[in-house]
């Protein structure tokens, strides 16, 4: 029987935000100028993933896909329910997550690696490979805040691709940088995904990517699980719904 690597049980995630009240209305109602309201982004989702499975996650923008991925990565905790990685290491590849802009690219490699649970010696062993793959050259020792979006993306991808974890979470970043780097990054990620011991969740709007890489598909709609099954079962229904 295959080993369970990820268990998501009745997970609910809410965002808190302040709703502004006009000054005049507040004066007459004697209430505060703002009140707290909540938006439930993920509404009681449950599923399990076995070792070596590749799960694609689909849904319209704002459906809760990225929120769920960040919760699995441990960036924040669910308001209700449980997420269990059964002791496995996990990395999240999502552009815009995880860099300290005032630090250099090299310093961010160390920081990201340590946040992923790697020891400094392991990161140092992989440093030259990360720099070479990223194609940043001397820019690796300049502050990340000076990087273009393409350079930022290349470094983020390279760290996750070279510092391999048992679980990889990929959020819409299989194609980053220029055309040459896009092909290189896709080929690298495909080779990582094909490792039978690695478990992967991919959030993507690319039907071609999902068809070519994923075993199963989770379809989330307005924060709820609408359907989950094999790629052949779910994608045609999703495409029909979205059209």
Summarize pLDDT for 95-121 with one digit per residue, the tens: 655 689 999 999 999 998 988 888 999
CA distances from 23 to 18, 19, 30, 76, 180 (A): 15, 13, 10, 34, 55
Per the listing, tokens 């140092």 go with 124
| pLDDT exceeds cutoff 70 at 174 | no
Using CA atoms, how far apart are residues 111 and 124, in angstroms rounded to an integer?
Answer: 12
Lowest mean pLDDT among 17-21, 178-182, 225-229: 17-21
Predicted pLDDT at 156: 86
Mean pLDDT (the chain) is 87
| pLDDT exceeds cutoff 60 at 200 | yes
Spell out the alpha helix ranges (H) of the chain.
Answer: 23-29, 65-73, 105-115, 120-134, 149-162, 179-193, 207-213, 231-242
What angle, 0 to 180 degrees and rounded to 10, lies between the N-to-C axes of helices 105-115 and 120-134? 130
| pLDDT exceeds cutoff 60 at 29 | no
Average pLDDT over residues 165-183: 77
B/e letters for 152-171, b = 16+ CB within 10 Å, e = fewer, are bbbbbbbbbbbbebbbbbbb
Token couple for 19 = 């709703």
CA atoms within 13 A on the CB side of 147: 31
Predicted pLDDT at 21: 55
CA distances from 60 to 35, 226, 228 (A): 29, 12, 15
């Amino acid at each position: 029987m295959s080993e369970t690597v990820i268990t998501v049980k009745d997970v609910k995630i809410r965002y808190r935000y302040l709703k502004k009240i006009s000054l005049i209305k507040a004066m007459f109602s004697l209430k505060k100028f703002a009140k707290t309201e909540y938006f439930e982004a993920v509404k009681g989702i449950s599923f399990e993933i076995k070792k070596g499975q590749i799960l694609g996650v689909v849904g319209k923008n704002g459906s809760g896909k990225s929120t769920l991925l960040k919760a699995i990565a441990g960036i924040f905790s669910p308001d209700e329910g449980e997420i269990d990685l059964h002791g496995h290491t996990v990395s999240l590849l999502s552009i815009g997550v995880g860099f300290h802009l005032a630090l250099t690219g090299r310093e961010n490699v160390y920081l990201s690696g340590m946040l992923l649970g790697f020891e400094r010696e392991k990161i140092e062993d992989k440093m030259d490979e990360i720099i070479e793959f990223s194609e940043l050259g001397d820019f690796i020792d300049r502050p990340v805040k000076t990087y273009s979006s393409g350079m930022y993306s290349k470094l983020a991808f390279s760290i996750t691709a070279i510092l391999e974890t048992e679980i990889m979470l990929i959020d819409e970043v299989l194609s980053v940088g220029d055309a040459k780097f896009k092909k290189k990054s896709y080929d690298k990620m495909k080779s990582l995904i094909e490792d039978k011991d690695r478990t992967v969740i991919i959030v993507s709007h690319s039907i071609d990517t999902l068809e070519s890489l994923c075993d199963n598909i989770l379809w989330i709609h307005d924060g709820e699980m609408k359907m989950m099954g094999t790629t052949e079962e779910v994608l045609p229904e999703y495409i029909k719904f979205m059209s």
